[in-house]
Amino acid sequence: MRHEKVLVLDFGGQYNQLIARRVREQGVYCDLLPYDMSIERILEYAPIGIIFTGGPNSVYADGAPDVDPRIFELGIPILGICYGCQLIANDLGGAVTHADTREYGKSEIDYGASPLFAGMQPHNVCWMSHTDYVSAVPAGFSVTATTKTCPAAAFEDPARKIYGIQFHAEVHHTQEGDKILHNFLYAVCGAKGDWTMSGFVAEQVALLKEKLAGKKVLCAMSGGVDSAVAAALVHRAAGDNLTCVFVDHGLLRKGEAEEVVSVFRDGLGMNLVKADARELFLKKLSGVADPEKKRKIIGEEFIKVFEAEAKKIGAVDYLVQGTIYPDVVESGKGSSAVIKSHHNVGGLPSVVDFKEIVEPLRDLFKDEVRKVGTELGLPDSVVWRQPFPGPGLAIRIMGEVTEEKLQTLRDADYILREEIAKAGLARDIWQYFAVITSTYTVGVMGDARTYEPVIAIRAVTSVDAMTADWARIPYDVLETISSRIVNEVEHANRIVYDITSKPPATIEWE
Ligand code: XMP
């Protein structure tokens, strides 16, 4: 089925993916594509509307990102946000001026009559983040919103269907921001809203059924949300022709390996091969204390174990990958310095004998992937699983990994998860986990002296793991976590709470 589509042109602002997610939330499919897309490709893409995102540049600077001026003549509705609105002003003959101070945060705003602001409170709060501002709107445009510091917080030429807003409607702090996007999509662009996750499942299953009919399909299951949902979706189409391989390296949290088997093999009736490599990994990690060495060993062994299982299955036609839309958008960008060598199952293609890769989630944002997972009947524990590093608990035990420490960590981590869930904080905190440090301290239990490694609790809020802040867990919840761990877990006598943001720290300790 061909969906109506909106084109979000990416000028490099921090909220760009959020704009695309908000459009999708309104039931309209969109793609986030580079701002320098040619007019020919735009016409081929055939969007019902175009959104220019924000960006870090000044529109009047040399070499600033710009659009082909013919874009304004296409008759396709345009909404410019922040940098995008300044670009409209600049390109069509208005003026953009540098302000002495940056306007950042919540601002009171007055909305006038505009199709964009229909049905909204005339006076409200919006979210601003800019230094330049539109000081004169182009001929034919009228100002439709103002703030104290922004004479043209919004402006438009409804005849040409071109709209600019200086503030960020996509950010939750802009009250009724979703209505602005809704109005643009439905009243201005004439969207019908044909993008739903139940529709997506039905379409994908039909497409995959055709593509995968009679073919052998293989999937590496890590327990993570993306691979789980990809596998469940493909399973609907391929049934027993799909084999999932799950490598149990013994570094998962308490109950996780069992859950993978119970959800996918027992629950969904999937062909799931579980490779029990727990002893092998422990042996390979014995005596290794260096974090990078641990990561490397785990990455290499993982591939070897998977390869051995894949060989048993033989040549396959398709390999399923849980690639999602942010991976696709971000893969175009330059690589940053390697802080930690990440271990992912993404390195598998070279060791599997397959003809083609199938990535059924490559158009979806994470929140959409979760909805699809729920549609497919996966439990919340899988669909809402927190991000978990490939090397697992090995990088949450400082120094050498031993079975005893793994046991302590699993038990402590389980209590933490239970208490966070009980406190209703699970979905507000990006990641929360326990760490076994390499510092030993003295404690007293009963009348006896104890000497055990300090256990740290790490809990952070974040939107993308690139930056993070430590979560302000209420003291009473921390108290329960601490007292339960020292009382119920063997080898635990002292708990500390990590209050460092990222940067300068990282989320994981190793
Ligand atoms: P850091 O510790 O670098 O972590 O702030 C950022 C995010 O990445 C996760 N992480 C990993 N994920 N393989 C993964 O798939 C890895 O090797 C790995 N190391 C860290 C971490 O849990 C956080 O979400």
Q: What pLDDT, in 10s, does the model give residues 361-406?
A: 999 999 999 999 999 999 999 999 999 999 999 999 999 999 999 9
Alpha helix positions (H), 110-224 = 177-182, 197-212
Q: What is the pLDDT of residue 435?
A: 98
Separation of alpha carbons 430 and 21, rounded Å: 18
What the block records as the tokens of 10 is 């990416």
Task: Report whether residue 508 contacts ligand 1, using a CB cutoff of 6 Å.
Answer: yes
pLDDT tens per residue across span 165-221: 999 999 999 999 999 999 999 999 999 999 999 999 999 999 999 999 999 999 999
pTM to 2 decimal places: 0.91
Alpha helix positions (H), 192-277 = 197-212, 225-238, 256-260
Task: Report whether residue 467 contacts ligand 1, using a CB cutoff of 6 Å.
Answer: no
**170 labelled catalytic:** yes
**CA 66 to the chain's CA centroid:** 28
* Of 454, 456, 455, the residue nearest 439 (C-alpha): 454
Percent pLDDT > 70 in the chain is 96
CA dihedral 349, 355, 359, 362 (to 10 degrees): 90
* Active-site residue identified among 4, 156, 170, 452: 170
Q: What is the pLDDT of residue 468?
A: 95
Q: How far is the CA of 259 from the centre of ligand 1 (A)?
A: 22
**3 labelled catalytic:** no
Separation of alpha carbons 222 and 203, rounded Å: 25
Q: Which residues of the chain have pLDDT under 50?
A: 334-336
Separation of alpha carbons 346 and 20, rounded Å: 25
Residues 6+ apart with CB under 8 A from 425: 471, 473, 477
Spatial contact of 423 and 477, defined as CB atoms under 8 Å apart? yes
Q: What is the pLDDT of residue 344?
A: 59
Q: What is the pLDDT of residue 449?
A: 97
Q: What is the pLDDT of residue 18?
A: 94
Q: What letter would DSSP give residue 253?
A: P
CA dihedral 290, 295, 300, 302 (to 10 degrees): 130
Separation of alpha carbons 259 and 352, rounded Å: 26
**256 labelled catalytic:** no
Separation of alpha carbons 120 and 180, rounded Å: 9
Q: How far is the CA of 476 from the centre of ligand 1 (A)?
A: 29
Residues 6+ apart with CB under 8 A from 461: 428, 429, 430, 468, 469, 470, 471
